[in-house]
Structure 1
Amino acid sequence: MKICVLGTRGFPFIQGGVEKHCESLYTDFSSEYHFIVFRRKPYVNSSISYPNITFVDLPSTKLKGFETVFHSFLATCYSVFYHPNIVHIHNIGPALFSPILRLFGLKIVLTFHSPNYEHKKWGRGPKLLLKWSEKIALKMSDAIIFVNRFQMEKYNSIIRNKSYYIPNGIPEIIPATKFDYIESLGLETGKYILSVGRITPEKGFDCLLKAFARLDDSNYHLVIAGGVETESAYYNMLKSILPVGKVIFTGYVFGEELNQLYAHARLFILSSYNEGFPLVLLEAMSYSLDVLVSDIPATHLVDLTADDYFETGNDEELAWKISVKLGKEQKRKYQLEKYNWNSVIEQTVYVYESIEKVSH
């Protein structure tokens, strides 16, 4: 079976939840499935190859808003050329041109990661376009995979009848035995709070920094592991909230460096205003970290206690709950068996095969 994949900037080692999802998913499929993954040239930084994946690197721009539209159009046209069994589109924005695929008789699977029009970074025009893309995506798709069951339940029976809830998985964790990276940042084991994600307004890092500024305890550092792409003004605002040295922005990290950050942290915080299904939260839980998360639907997809939540955007409450968490040393044991990438692959195969049976 040949499957074209669009809607991701690409992988490996490219920042983003969708990118990490695609890297974890497609690289472990059996050889009977071949994927043609369209990447965006400005983001490609690795020559690593995989036996069942062909990368097609298309020209792109990093202009916010235009980037996705331009790449999606090119990838849609290329998909027609390759004439695959299925086109797998990730998220609603890249599905804007899916009527072209249907015009040429191609089958479409949509993975709905999040309602992007709820993100703060978009203005009125882009939000309207994303809502229009959502309508097109839901109508044109032969099958829809939701990573968030609460999102799936919002839609009518027509949409739900062709939908599947398949949550994200957790990458295999290799326990960190080294300390060199955190020491290079001036950090000590158990003496820093960690948050991971791209530097964008919907991640709520401004709330987190304001909360941290309220803390009396000066023994802890705050570490934000994530890169800056188009939100340089937001990033500069974040840097002005705390004195230099109290907060450490690492930039985008992966592999052993990210492994060390998770393994030696005291507390993990997810301060987001919007999420589809936060992979970074699953990762933190897999390291048995104590967690604090904003009270949004996506964070209720996992089993946490009431003490693990704070009111979204409320830096005063977040500061108080951080103090409480830091006051009691604890490693956590979470039930994470169902968040398994092998299971995600098996369920995705079922979706693919179901569409193929219908087409024949």
Structure 2
Amino acid sequence: MRHVAVVGLRGIPDVMGGIETHCAELLPRMARQSDDLTLTVLSRRRYATAPDPAPGVRQIPLAAPSGRGTEALVHSLWAVLYARLALKADAVHLHGIGPGLAAPLARGLGMGVLFTHHGEDYARAKWKLPARLILRLGEALALRLSHRIITVSAGTAARLKARAPGRADRIVHLPNGVSEPATAGDAEAVMARHGLRPGQFVIQVGRIEPEKGQDTLIDAFRASGGARGTSPMKLLLVGEADHQSGYSRRIMAMAGHGVELAGRLDRDTIFALNRRAALFVLPSLHEGLSIAALEALKAGAPVLLSDIEPNRNLGLEDRHYLKPGSVEDWAKGLRGDPARHRVRQGFDPALYDWDVIARRTLTLLDALPGGRVRLAGTERSAPDV
């Protein structure tokens, strides 16, 4: 029996964020596909408290500081200590390069370490130089000390292998996935609340932070003239800020006059909104591999994405990409018939199957020292690493 503590996320279910959505989709599938695995999510108490968020997945909320720069790091160190000393977990799955700073502690406590690299967070504009240096250190320590490393971005995998060729065989690219919604969601209520009509609104999904480019998008939407005319469009921003900031207050002040702030919504409702939207947009300056974009593509929405490497990894045609941060380019892209941005080729949903991703993650856990993972219907033991 292998006991794995999952550390680095705010919590599940229904907590907004790429890592949180990743874990909410992945962990229940891992539990279903193994009959001798215990999974415990060590969440941050102010975000998630559900003790059993999914069959086969336990969650224990732990205290964490509320400061933006200290929350993930302090919580991750405390969670690893708790996992080993209180839960007797034999392995930890760290998510994100900030929590990667806990890799030395986990190794020192004799734990197997699986690390998932969700994005180069030191590239985010919100972090000052000291925080960026700490995040780079977290990445370096996780790369050096983890027994197995997953990256959601193909480009990141290539860079890490070039940086540490001696560990290249331990680095595996597994993308984020996408799945069908479990329910019909509540899109009609959201549309009624914000005065939206099918095919007459543009949707963006993501936390309200500078890297998501909501300010550029709002300026471009207004410059495009989409809110005017005989069939006016609206712009719906889905998401909220983790911590209030000057940027989040500015976005709230920019709302109105055709710009609607929906706040946090559940994934099924977002999926249904994507199906009714004229266009899905992702103007981000930084991403890992956007689950929001994958869900929009799965829903069949026309899409416009910022021209950054993780978005390019989706393999769409050039016409779906616009220069990040350029109000002029985005205003031009928003003008005219949104149907011209419908995806005709390049996206293969079979590449983003959560069940396949879960099974491959289990094989990586099986390769960690000190325990075993038996896939359903098989008997396998983990080799020492």
TM-score using structure 1 length: 0.94
* Equivalence for 1:21: 22
Deviation, structure 1 residue 222: 0.4
Q: Quickly say closer, same or farther: Cα 1:68–1:329, change in 2 above 3 A.
A: closer
Report the alpha carbon displacement of residue 76 of structure 1 after superposing the two structures with TM: 1.4
1:161–1:150 Cα change, 3 Å:
same
Q: Cα RMSD between the aligned structures?
A: 2.0
Match of 2:122 in 1: 117
- 1:302 and 1:49 mapped to 2: Cα distance? 30
Higher mean Cα deviation, 227-236 or 110-119?
227-236
Q: Which residue of 2 aligns with 1:183?
A: 192
- The verdict on how the C-alpha distance between 1:323 and 1:57 changes in structure 2, with shifts beyond 3 A counting, is same
Alignment deviations for residues 56-81 of structure 1 (CA, whole Å, 9 cap, x no partner): 11012321011112101110111221
What TM-score do the two structures reach when normalised by structure 2? Answer: 0.88
Q: Which amino acid aligns with 2:214?
A: F
Map of 1:169 onto structure 2: 177
The 2-side partners of 1:273 and 1:255 are apart by: 23
| CA offsets 1:29-87 (integer angstroms, 9 cap, x no match) | 22422101100001125465433222111012321011112101110111221332321
Cα distance 1:237–1:60, how it changes in 2: closer, same or farther (>3 A)?
Answer: same
Identify the residue that residue 55 of structure 1 maps to in structure 2: 59
Deviation of residue 13 (structure 1)?
1.0
Aligned: 1:282 with 2:283: no
Matched residue, 2:108: 103
Moved over 6 A (4+): none
Match in the other structure for 1:335: 348
How many residue pairs were aligned?
Answer: 359
User: Percent same amino acid at aligned positions?
Assistant: 27
Q: Does 1:235 align with 2:248?
A: yes
SS in 1 for 2:367: helix
The question of 1:139 aligning with 2:151 is answered no
Find 1:198's aligned residue among 204, 207, 219.
Answer: 207
Cα distance change, pair 358–330 in 1 and its aligned pair in 2 (3 A): closer
AA partner of residue 27 (structure 1): P
In structure 1, stretches of 5+ residues that fail to align are none
TM-superposed CA distance for 1:323, in Å, is: 1.2
- Seen in structure 2, the aligned counterparts of structure 1 residues 330 and 21 have a Cα distance that, compared at 3 Å, is closer
> Relative to structure 1, is the Cα distance of residues 40 and 329 closer, same or farther in structure 2, using a 3 angstrom cutoff?
closer
Aligned to 2:321: 309
Deviates most, 90-99 or 11-20: 90-99
Find the counterpart in structure 1 of residue 237 from structure 2.
224
The answer to whether structure 1 residue 358 and structure 2 residue 363 are counterparts is no
Change beyond 3 A, Cα 1:211–1:45:
farther
Relative to structure 2, which stretch is displaced further, 127-136 or 29-38? 29-38
Deviations 1:202-259, CA, capped at 9 Å, x for gaps: 11111111111111232000001001221432122223446x2411111110144323
Q: CA deviation at 1:99?
A: 1.2
Unaligned runs of 5+ in 2: 370-381
For 1:328 and 1:113, the matched residues in 2 are separated by 31
What SS does structure 2 have at the residue aligned with 1:14? coil
Amino acid aligned to 1:229: D
Describe the superposition over 1:252-295 as per-residue Cα deviations: whole angstroms up to 9, x where unpaired: 10144323321210000001111111000000000111100001
Judging changes above 3 Å, is the alpha-carbon distance between structure 1 residues 32 and 269 closer, same or farther for their aligned structure 2 residues?
same
Closer/same/farther in 2, CA of residues 256 and 79 from structure 1, 3 Å limit: closer
User: Which residue of structure 1 lines up, in the alignment, with residue 93 of structure 2?
Assistant: 88
Structure with the greater relative contact order (CA < 8 A, sep ≥ 6): 1 or 2? 2
**TM-aligned CA distance change 1:175 to 1:285, over 3 Å:** farther
